[in-house]
Amino acid sequence: MQLDVLVIAPHPDDAELGMGGAILKFKVEGKKVGVLDLTSGEPTPYGSLEKRAAETAAATEILGLDWRDNLGLPNRSLEPTLESREKLAGVIRQVRPRWLFAPFWIDAHPDHTAATKLVDDARFWAKLSNTDMPGESFHPERIYNYYCVHLKMAAQPAFILDISQQWEQKLASIQCYHSQFIEGRPQQSPTFIDKLTDEASYWGKTIGVKYGEPFNSREPIGLSSMGELV
């Protein structure tokens, strides 16, 4: 399979939280989209491997993904090791995405910062020619970064995507992760879901729409036309 977009997530649910709206928008545009979860995300207080697998399957169906897999790296101790780099580079060579999406590079969660470093390194390794890795040499054109951070930070994104039409479906995909975002969490307002909605509304307001998702990039972003700017 050749994907247009590969979203790389430290844990199941990070892709939905950070860019579920963008994924849905890509699908409307006819792009082939995949998600690679690096770890199982377990253990968690109310989750289990079986619960998380079922929740991920339900969210995947809502998003309409063309492909999803799990690299099986260790949760809570994710590191950008040579072994992990080779495994991820091998997947990139097999699914051959034009664009990679990784977490924002500043975060309090060590798994998230390790994931971003791992994506950067594996993108470079994927183009190596004299190697035992599966697939042929391949180098994705771009890496973009989505926000799914554990810091109280004032983000300064490079661009914000209008996801007003996709918001309800994105929210439904997030609510599939009942063990993570509903079970055991406070039910009085503002709930976790309320806060997510407020955040998306804030980003939408900054560009004059109802809901938005912020993104960043360490590489310059090129435009062939100003016609699609909001």
Domains by residue range for the chain, with CATH: 5-216 (3.40.50.10320)
- State whether residue 21 is helix, strand or coil: helix
Q: How confident is the model at residue 137, as a pLDDT? A: 97
Q: How confident is the model at residue 125, as a pLDDT? A: 98
Q: How confident is the model at residue 152, as a pLDDT? A: 86
Q: How confident is the model at residue 229, as a pLDDT? A: 87
Write the pLDDT tens digit of every residue in 40-91. Answer: 999 999 999 999 999 999 999 999 999 999 999 999 999 999 999 999 999 9
Q: What is the mean pLDDT of residues 218-225?
A: 92
Does pLDDT of 227 surpass 90?
A: no
**Gap between the Cα atoms of 52 and 59, Å rounded:** 10
Q: How confident is the model at residue 111, as a pLDDT? A: 98
Q: What is the mean pLDDT of residues 114-133?
A: 97
Q: Which residue has the tokens 């997947």?
A: 91
Write the pLDDT tens digit of every residue in 3-52. Answer: 999 999 999 999 999 999 999 999 999 999 999 999 999 999 999 999 99
> What percent of the chain lies above the pLDDT cut of 90?
93
Mean of the per-residue pLDDT values for the chain? 96
pTM, to two decimals: 0.97
Q: What is the mean pLDDT of residues 197-215?
A: 98
Three-state SS annotation for 157-191: CCEEEECCCCHHHHHHHHHCCHHHHCCCCCCCCCC
